[in-house]
Amino acid sequence: MKDRIMIGDLATHVGETVSICGWVDVRRDQGKMVFFDFRDRSGYVQGVVLPKSEAMEAAKELRNEYVVRVTGIVNARPEKNVQADKQNGSIELEITGIETLNAAETLPFEITGDTSGIDESVRLANRHLDLRSPRMQRNMKIRSEFVRRCREFLFSKDFTEIETPLLTESTPEGSRDFVVPSRLNPGKFYALPQSPQQYKQLLMTAGFERYFQTARAVRDEDLRADRGFEHTQIDVEMSFVEMEDVMQNIEAMITKVVEDMGFTIKEKPFPRISYKDAMEKYGADKFDLRTEEEKAQGILAYAWVVNFPFFEKTDDGKWTFTHNPFSMPIPEHVDWLMKGENIENILTTQYDIVCNGYESGGGSIRAHKPEILEATYKVMGYTKEEMEDRVGHMLDAFKYGTPPHGGIALGVERNIMNLTGETYLREVQAFPMTRGGQTSVMKAPKPLEKKQLDELGIAVKEQKKN
């Protein structure tokens, strides 16, 4: 709006008459005088309507969360009234005019403080209001800054940002797929991507050498505090690399990004530990290396975990992959894989990055020759035909000069949980699901109309009422 001054810049306008636009954060009516805190994206300022002011009538009408344009004189506060610890604590806006741009009913809950104590379903049904609260604003801004800085780093290293499809084929990543029916092909289904794994490898075949994407990944998993159906990955793939190249590049990116954001890293270079030693020492492949004091200081303790077993036994006694079927074994163990011997001892090139008790990313060097991927699927008991159906397109692509390659995906939410100290995934996503898998604000999942079902050729079985 014309002549709008941001609240965060007001201190440079002392003595001037200015206009701000924003929300009434708090209104304190003292009878003769009315005090306000106003809020815009840049911060907060106190305003006052003095006795006999022309703005008094309008001031009496305002309520919390009204959207206003306020005109006033920026006054320096007298020395004794300065609140040095508060933004704009040395100034006050002497209000001369108020224009209400939109009124607001009383909100369903208080948003001036921390909303984490509010009932989850109420918060998420009103997520657009919950997001106004200071903690949520901060979390979303930290998330945006983290992703922006990762992007900038990757661009500076000659990466190309490429989007991959959302409607794709069911992938063997290990979790359940979310599926989408096809109207044009009744009875057939797309799957939403669990990760861009295969596409990013195909982009290596395509010669881009350095790819990244801020990718959405969707998995139909049981919901937990640190896991939702949807999450975002900084997804990276590189050609002509070995484990060391990917790990060093990613470590350099994380270090630059979080240090530029003002965080402290406990140990550099990030310590490395084998899966075996981690299990012996911490009883898990994710662990928290911080002392109580370091936790209180918000320090970030990163570590790499390497030398994971490639395969593990399923409940029915077959072999399956522990992390990623597209991985390469460590160079010393390629021979065992090719011969199908010593399966339990084959280690994969997988590297996981752990931070403050969470697995915050993971990746590997990939099998880039058809015979290596075939050997992996053979160990897992696939016939030639089954292999062809599952990964035939990859086996085919690898025949046409696919370079050696590897990559990683960093979980954006997990990383932001570490940066903000949040323990719930939903605190770092704008519109998360409830624990019961309901969307915020919108009312999904819900039944389709008969006409839509008919078009898709779908008949829904009688559902039990819950």
Rule CB under 6 A: which residues touch ligand ASP?
Answer: 195, 197, 324, 362-364, 407-409
Q: Angle between the 243-260 and 134-156 helix axes, to the nearest 10 degrees?
A: 140
Whose Cβ is closer to ligand ASP: residue 244's or residue 280's?
A: 244
Whose Cβ is closer to ligand ASP: residue 126's or residue 364's?
A: 364
Residue 135 in tokens: 């903690």
Whose Cβ is closer to ligand ASP: residue 88's or residue 195's?
A: 195
Q: Compute the least distance from the CB of residue 58 to ligand ASP, in Å.
A: 55
**Angle made by CA atoms 285, 374, 384, in degrees to the nearest 5:** 125
- Taking alpha carbons only, the member of 315, 235, 244, 304 closest to residue 275 is 304
Quick one: which H or E segment has residue 29?
A: strand 17-29
Query: Rounded distance, CA 292 to CA 299, Å?
Result: 10
Q: Compute the least distance from the CB of residue 197 to ligand ASP, in Å.
A: 4
Whose Cβ is closer to ligand ASP: residue 59's or residue 246's?
A: 246
Q: Compute the least distance from the CB of residue 170 to ligand ASP, in Å.
A: 15
Note whether 364 and 348 are within 8 A (CB): yes
Q: Compute the least distance from the CB of residue 251 to ligand ASP, in Å.
A: 15
Query: Rounded distance, CA 62 to CA 54, Å?
Result: 14
Query: Rounded distance, CA 312 to CA 380, Å?
Result: 10
Q: Compute the least distance from the CB of residue 230 to ligand ASP, in Å.
A: 13
Q: What is the dihedral of CA 364, 368, 373, 375, to 10 degrees?
A: -100
Whose Cβ is closer to ligand ASP: residue 204's or residue 419's?
A: 204
Query: Rounded distance, CA 240 to CA 210, Å?
Result: 10
Q: Which residue is nearest to ligand ASP (CB)?
A: 195
Q: Compute the least distance from the CB of residue 408 to ligand ASP, in Å.
A: 5
Whose Cβ is closer to ligand ASP: residue 29's or residue 245's?
A: 245
Cα atoms in the 13 Å half-sphere on the side-chain side of 172: 20
